[in-house]
Structure 1
Amino acid sequence: MIRFRDRGARGRHAGAWVDSYHSFSFADYVDPANMGFRALRVINEDRVTPGAGFPEHEHADMEILTYVLEGAIEHRDSLGNVANLRRGDVQLMSAGTGVAHSEMNADAHLRAHFLQIWIIPDSRGLPSGYQQKSFADLPSNRLVEVATPDGRAGSLRVHQDVTVSLARIEDGYRVDHSIRPGRGCWVQAVRGILALNGTEMREGDGAAVEDEPGLVLEAETDCELLLFDLA
């Protein structure tokens, strides 16, 4: 079964300095039918004006991934980390026992465009931590693991039975993914146009997949996607 989540049906917050789309319920946007998918709790697509951003605030007991699509972000947190993220960078912050952080647009001229993703960890009260890696230069037409439970193959280590993969597929090519029994997948279209098992998806569309043996991801234009394979 595949349940598609149309980009136009997402929640939206258009503020003075941020334009944000919510695939799942978040903050003032409440949709009981879309509270998340398995351990995947939040996918927000944010665009932040130059010099603005999210001032210091706190989180606990959440794995928070940030993937930068355009522009630059300056990260600061109560663990002492200060980092700059640019296009293709992925940040994984394990909020664990609690961490305060800020995420600001570090560019004076360009909007920052990024995805923020929350994954519920497998345990509460874990040590807080920070990881960052660039995935700007990836081989095309294959799934590349970005975050895994064991940090294999140079991926970031996430405290949950989930594999987060990134794929950039050239027009006319396809990528296949087998799904083990009992697991489910979420596909998030990041750029371009693709077909998921024959159904078209565009930037911002999502899809929850359960009780399917596998996925066929075919590029109708050059495209990019995130794939979450969850217990």
Structure 2
Amino acid sequence: MSKKVIHKADTRGHANHGWLNSYHSFSFASYYNPERMGFGLLRVLNDDTVAPGMGFGAHPHDNMEIVSIPLAGELAHKDSTGNEKTIRTNEVQIMSAGTGLTHSEYNHSKTNEVKFLQIWVFPKERDIKPRYEQKSFKPEDRQNQLQTVVSPDRNDEAIWINQDAWFTLGTLKPGFSEEYKLHMPHHGVYAFVLEGEVEIDGEKLSKRDGMGVSDTESITIKAGSDAELLLMEVPMK
């Protein structure tokens, strides 16, 4: 029997700092909920909006896989390994913090907000050399289908992650129906609805709702409207 946990959008932690408006699906910073310390090895799912010209100053990380997915606007990135990049919609960025690094993230625009997801996953191998990568993905390759954007397979077209984890995006039309098969036993999948209405294993989810399913080999996805969906498959322990 599969296990399900549902996090409705309005139950998330919330912090509005003026320049940063952030919603936390799991405990983060000043938001602490002992029942929301992550889903398996997925530790952080932050839904961030950053004001024009503002951002996060240089701060340290270690031994964490950090994935950034821009939803609107442009996010400028700079880190202590020498990378200075800008990521945009239809791109995905990953940073393996490994033995440790510092980085900063700023809204590249002086006039428009940037919206992005910041996701943390515990690494498979600790203390690796810090690593940065970003990649562009064709939006047409997720039209009414699932597009893998993060994978542990270095030969995959997706961006590589130091963990047995797969992230998948879909831009779905009403009536879309598909079974997503998990890659490995003892994995779970956390679904996050970016837009629209989606039904997963019979549970109806709306914009910014999250749902984790574990103890299962697959989940069934149905779109009730035009929808955008992110799936994050991770080991549960």
Indicate the residue corresponding to 1:15 in structure 2.
Answer: 17
Indicate the residue corresponding to 2:204 in structure 1.
Answer: 200
Following superposition of structure 1 onto structure 2, how do residues 69-218 of structure 1 map, counting pairs within 5 Å? Answer: 69-139=71-141, 140-179=143-182, 180-218=184-222
User: How many angstroms apart in 2 are the aligned matches of 1:92 and 1:186?
Assistant: 18
The farther-off stretch of 143-152 and 20-29 is 143-152
The farther-off stretch of 180-189 and 215-224 is 180-189
Identical amino acids, percent of aligned pairs: 37
TM-superposition CA deviations, 1:159-187 (whole Å, max 9, x none): 11111111111122123212354221111
Q: CA deviation at 1:213?
A: 3.5
Unaligned runs of 5+ in 1: none
User: How many angstroms apart in 2 are the aligned matches of 1:79 and 1:138?
Assistant: 33
The farther-off stretch of 147-156 and 175-184 is 175-184
User: How many angstroms apart in 1 are the aligned matches of 2:49 and 2:154?
Assistant: 29
The farther-off stretch of 17-26 and 176-185 is 176-185
User: How many angstroms apart in 2 are the aligned matches of 1:138 and 1:215?
Assistant: 23
TM-superposition CA deviations, 1:53-74 (whole Å, max 9, x none): 1111110100000000001111
> What TM-score, normalized by structure 2, do the two folds share?
0.93
User: How many angstroms apart in 1 are the aligned matches of 2:122 and 2:215?
Assistant: 22
Q: Secondary structure of the residue that 2:26 maps to in structure 1?
A: coil
User: How many angstroms apart in 2 are the aligned matches of 1:199 and 1:38?
Assistant: 20
Aligned length: 231
RMSD: 1.3
